[in-house]
Amino acid sequence: GAGVSQSPSNKVTEKGKDVELRCDPISGHTALYWYRQRLGQGLEFLIYFQGNSAPDKSGLPSDRFSAERTGESVSTLTIQRTQQEDSAVYLCASSLERAGGTGNTIYFGEGSWLTVV
Amino acid sequence: AQSVTQLDSQVPVFEEAPVELRCNYSSSVSVYLFWYVQYPNQGLQLLLKYLSGSTLVKGINGFEAEFNKSQTSFHLRKPSVHISDTAEYFCAVTTLNYGGSQGNLIFGKGTKLSVKP
């Protein structure tokens, strides 16, 4: 597609349930990022994939959070046993290569708004 | 590690007035710098970025930013704002040389620009 596509755009879930958020990056982009944006807050880095290298998971807030990426395509962010503090917009982004060391522009999707009730 | 400080969380301004949104960064290595804009209920899009060369960078929608290495700043400016510039603006940084450093962008907490008629 022309841009980064995310689904669902909105998700309401009960506390304790697991959720999966999907990201389809721009075709040809080897780098893929997940960020979290809580209401009134800035962007919080979660995880970053670069090609077939081991992902940088340094931003994941707890072991309830995990992400996978199949090759250089779709990624899924999974949150297990959701808590109310997980409520946020989850933004996926992609770039031709990693931004660090290249200055490549990161292109963002419109986000998945997660509400945990 | 890098960090970004956006000193003003909110900036109200009247239409056609000039505006400056401040951004300071901290890094022990050379950096690339970015400004992104997020319009209400939309994803982030790139306004401009500094990679090298002229320290004055021009972006979309009449915005420009100046890289000042001695002051570690990258302030965003527009000489005359429009109602349509109402949005949240994020400053971001990544490293010039990858060398095991983070591949992602580090974002500031954002500045909400509110343009009033």
Give the domain CATH number at B93. Answer: 2.60.40.10
Q: Produce one character per residue of B61-92: b if its CB has 16 or more CB atoms within 10 Å, e if not.
A: eebbbbbeeeebbbbbebeebeeebbbbbbbb
- Strand pairing of A112-116 and A10-13? parallel
> How many domains does chain B fold into?
1
CATH topology of domain A5-110: Immunoglobulin-like (2.60.40)
Taking residues B80-84, report their average pLDDT.
96
Taking residues B60-67, report their average pLDDT.
95
- Give the whole-angstrom CA distance, residue A95 versus residue A99: 7
Side-chain-side CA neighbours of residue A46 (13 Å)? 27
pLDDT at B100 over 70: no
Put simply, whether B8 touches A (Cβ < 8 Å) is: no
Return the pLDDT at A1.
52
pLDDT at A101 over 80: no
Chain A residues inside the 8 Å CB shell of B106: 45
Return the pLDDT at A41.
81
* Subunit contact A42:B96, Cβ cutoff 8 A: no
* Subunit contact B32:A45, Cβ cutoff 8 A: no
Put simply, whether B96 touches A (Cβ < 8 Å) is: yes
Put simply, whether B51 touches A (Cβ < 8 Å) is: yes
Return the pLDDT at A27.
92
Element holding B19 (H helix, E strand):
strand B19-21
Tell me which residue range forms the domain holding B67: 3-116
Q: Which of A10-14, A40-44, B3-7, B59-63 has the lowest mean pLDDT?
A: A40-44
Mean pLDDT of chain A: 91
Closest of A23, A107, A116 to residue B105, by C-alpha: A107
Indicate the SS3 state at residue A28. coil
